[in-house]
Chain A
Amino acid sequence: MTAAVPDLPLAVPALELRDLEVAYRVRGIDRPVLRGVSLEIAQGEAYGLVGESGCGKTTAAFAVMRYLPRNGRVTGGSIGVGGNDLLAMSEAQVRHLRAKTVSMVYQNPGTALNPSIRVGEQVAEVFRIAGRSKEESRERARAMLAKVQISDPARVLKRYPHQLSGGMQQRVVIAMALASDPTLLILDEPTTGLDATVEAEVLDLVTALRAEFGTSVLFISHNLAVIAKMCERVGVLYAGRLVEEGPAGQVFENPRHPYTVGLLRCIPRRGVRKDQTRLDTIPGFLPSLGAALPGCVFADRCGLAQEICRAEEPALIDLGGGRSSRCHFHEQAHLLPRATAPRGHAASRDGGGGEPIVRVESVSKTFKQEGHEIRALADVSFAIRPGETLGLVGESGSGKTTLARVLLGLSEPDADSRLELDGRPLASRVGKRDTEQVRAIQIVFQNPDAALNRRFSVRRIIGRALKKLLGVRGSQRDERLETLAQSVRFDNRLLGARPSQLSGGLKQRVAIARAFAGDPRAVVCDEPTSALDVSVQAAILNLLADLQNDKGVTYLFISHDLGVVRYLSDRIAVLYLGRVMELGDAEVVFNAPHHPYTEALLSAVPTLDRGERPRIKLEGEMPSAADPPSGCVFHTRCPRKLGEICETEEPPLVEAEPGHLMRCHISIEELRRLQATAPDAGNRGRSPSGNRGA
């Protein structure tokens, strides 16, 4: 049933959890976090653990490392590592185990490395602990870095962590984790926070290393597509219970637990768009930490729940073929009714109706830093029409946020840049714009924790925006405030709460309400869902689409999640090193022929849909904007580079076909021919799990 490497003994699993129970002691009471989790990882197998935040994924990993926080302890069950009982081990034995057998890679590589010690010393230390000499350790450190595909190990070894990019840091961390040749490697969200292209490289690396070392992997992620790509088997965790388990492909193709079904439906996939349907969501909230749950843990949020689900905890039912589900009605899981109604009336998609609201013309932005000139934006032009969403994609450092700041008037562009609102020139600084213009362009930030003043109540946050932008006061303001809260589905009874008392999704709703306070014409959404769980993300995306539908507002939507961008955008602009590389209708950009950079970006994103595109690897890292390459700025990494012309001459942004702008020396016909072999990005073929319950 597992895809174990044949010549390894199958009898002893690399990791075996039996009815593992972990509790955190909060205010004197033990609150269960893991409720009897049993799972087995065979030698050489990769096992994925998925679930939303707060389900206990990381706690499980910490329990296996015996790194639980001071108020956490194992209250029942057993943990076997390579056949040895972890819980019976002494401190010294556990240390030995961590040094030799089990390694862990944490989410944030920046904090996993000591900022004041050179990378070389940190990697070599692992070998020194294993008893190697100083010389040998250094030699081995270099060899290890070469193994994780760092092209110039000698140079990297001499650097400090902050001098490396995020992807490079994560490679170093993986190198350290693998240095002791562990039998079990725990990866806790190893690619969250990395760019799609870097994520793809790190995932490729893990795959390659696994083939070489035969290491077993426990892979924790909230990203189902990543798990589907990396793991043979998967376990779905909800409220500390393993609710479903089985081979990854089958579980995602044909889920047998309503929670898994719900999770999969939240994700915008198969090229679904806002004008086709609303995304489904999972209603309600995760039970609070340590709540008593007499019945099924998911009963409160489950559309299939019956009397028996609230009264009786379902057993983990063996479905055969290595699959199991903890649901009384696992056969009907796919019949889970939609929690969110599909769109009542088709959202209008008036492509190109009316004059552009916002026009950005040859906008450049040059930062000066210690005598260097950094050109963050170079000659960017586009227009957004009313009620339209322009998606901005590109790796970090491509200038997406700078562009948003320029448009908002927070950052002053270079002299020749022109901004227009409704055909009238727009001052480059927000302080110089009139109230009308200030109201017209607003923003929803990525991180609602930072975007809302934590000392203010929700009422004050939204009320202030109403007062400043609309000039309404007193009872009139209260009235508007309540209407506004209602339009973002924010319960009026919560208006007195402070942001810290609200969940991430509710906080983002408050931020959206604030952006809409002055009836804006255009709203910049800067990664508005990337800090949220998928079910909350779905609700927020629905809300944004509904608001656009009702108010005809225009969005400039920035996201690194291409599925999300595709769902919400009418047109897409692809940015690289501050330049627009490709611009066109969303479907045109997502379907071949694409610009080689877009092609690489799309291929880097793991997807749950079948028929994955062949990976197009991008060589190296994005060059610095302080010293952009000559000619086409993408030529240093371009897999389809023609030759000298790319190095010497910058291609202009031209209309390659009607409504489709591209900056490339290769003709669109040639691109179409080259990319014809790759399956279409859309791949609309419906897989059986689809929205059958809808």
Chain B
Amino acid sequence: MTTAPDPLILVPEQLTKASDDARVARRERLRLVLRSKTFLVGSVIFLFWIFCALFGEMVAPKNPFASDPLNRLASPSGEFWFGTDRLGRDVFSRVLAGAREILTVAPLATLLGTGIGTILGLVTGYFRGLVDDAIMRLMDALLAVPLVILALLALVALGPSNTTVIVVIGIVFTPLVARTVRAAVLSEAQLEYVQAARLRNERAPYIMFAEILPNVLPPVIVEFTVRLGYAVFTIAALSFLGFGIQPPAPDWGLQVFENYGFLSANIWWPVLFPAVAIASLVVAVNLISDGITQAFER
């Protein structure tokens, strides 16, 4: 180089300032999430259920599987806080222990749906054209069938098991995620860094997964949390219909299913407490999702 030094070279203060700014921005976002009350309340409830899923059987006052024929359908008391069910099992212990199944099945199902949906969203949004049309029409067709009916049909055909539930919910969620991701990819693919990648003959998978994917992660994360709430809800509904999680698991939806017949006899406790548990988990996930969304929107 024969040219004189350039005056625009950064001085060290500028350097530290630049990296400071980035650190501050990251911290700012984290702080926003942590300061959001919705996120905190949601996390507390969610962490409580996670704890129960891990250690529920250990901390439960009674064995959630042990029936006690002498104390069938006992109302809530000092000994049985939430009463007992039709086999005399302690409802409180079963509510604590019931978190495990749903907190395994729902996240796995959501992960599957978000994963496939993200891939399809990337492919359709990046390639457009015929690929896009074909895949998205298929997705639309999937969406047109009511969700629960679709799940029921698949479960009847494949036989109910946790794996089937995960696969079915995952497939059902795929079109919804794919649509969101596709929209984000469409606007991202317009940006010139994608053209720059094409101009050095990058392969399409590299452009989609290495260049574009990191930039559409925020909507993917938000979508995951939203879908997780729906997954909890849907799995509980399937279990209630008898097609979801199978006995003898102390699943909440299953508990409602097993005991709702006694409601007419004014025996509400084996139904109400698991139902409240389902509701609290759904609400918690949605609160977390709201908190994250707000932080990303800033």
Which of A's residues lie within 8 Å of B, judged by CB? 27, 281-285, 288, 339-341, 344-345, 408-410, 430-431, 433, 435, 438, 441-443, 445-447, 450-455, 464-465, 468-469, 486-487, 489, 491, 493-494, 497-498, 500-502, 505-506, 514, 518, 536, 539, 543, 546, 550
Contacts and interface: CB of A to CB of B under 8 A. Distances in A.
| A-B complex: 10 closest residue pairs judged by Cβ atoms | A283-B7, A489-B6, A341-B4, A455-B214, A451-B192, A501-B18, A468-B200, A445-B192, A450-B191, A453-B193
Nearest to A497: B18
B77 interface: no
Nearest to B21: A501
A497 B19 CA distance: 7
Given A502-B18, A518-B200, A344 B192 contact: no
Interface in B1-56: 1-12, 14-15, 17-19, 21-22, 24-25
A438 B196 contact: no
B7 A487 contact: no
Given A491-B15, A539-B6, A410 B196 contact: no
A451 B193 contact: yes
Contacts of B24: 27
Nearest to A281: B7
Nearest to A448: B192
B56 to A, nearest CB: 40
Interface of B: 1-12, 14-15, 17-19, 21-22, 24-25, 191-193, 195-196, 198-202, 211, 214-215
Contacts of A455: 214-215
Contacts of B11: 284
A493 B11 CA distance: 10
A491 B10 contact: yes
Given A344-B2, A410-B199, A435-B201, A491 B193 contact: no
Contacts of B1: 486-487, 546, 550
B8 A536 contact: yes
Contacts of B18: 494, 497, 501-502
A345 B3 CA distance: 9
A636 to B, nearest CB: 32
B4 A443 contact: no
A536 B7 CA distance: 11
B4 A340 contact: yes
A445 B22 contact: no
A286 B7 CA distance: 13
21 contacts: A27-B24, A281-B7, A284-B7, A284-B11, A340-B6, A344-B4, A438-B199, A443-B199, A450-B192, A451-B192, A453-B214, A454-B215, A455-B215, A468-B201, A486-B1, A489-B6, A491-B10, A493-B10, A500-B25, A501-B21, A506-B8
A214 B199 CA distance: 54
Contacts of B199: 408-410, 430, 438, 441-443
A282 B8 CA distance: 8
Nearest to B202: A468
B201 A489 contact: no
Contacts of A500: 22, 25
Contact of B198 (A430, A498, A539): A430
A443 B191 CA distance: 14
A469 B201 CA distance: 8
A260 B201 CA distance: 46
Nearest to A465: B200
B226 to A, nearest CB: 23
Choose among B10, B19, B200 the residue with the greatest number of A CB atoms under 10 Å from its CB.
B200
Nearest to A437: B201
Contact of A340 (B7, B17, B201, B215): B7
A536 B8 CA distance: 8
Nearest to B23: A501
B4 A498 contact: no
Contacts of A506: 8, 10
A514 B196 contact: yes
Given A443-B196, A452-B193, A455-B215, 5 more contacts: A281-B7, A344-B2, A438-B199, A489-B6, A497-B19
B8 A283 contact: yes
Nearest to A345: B2
B53 to A, nearest CB: 34
Contacts of A453: 193, 211, 214-215
A539 B193 contact: no
Contacts of A408: 195, 199
A532 to B, nearest CB: 11
A539 B215 contact: no
A539 B202 CA distance: 31
Contacts of B22: 497-498, 500-501
A344 B4 CA distance: 8
A285 to B, nearest CB: 6
A556 B165 CA distance: 58
A340 B4 CA distance: 7
A87 to B, nearest CB: 30
Contacts of A27: 24
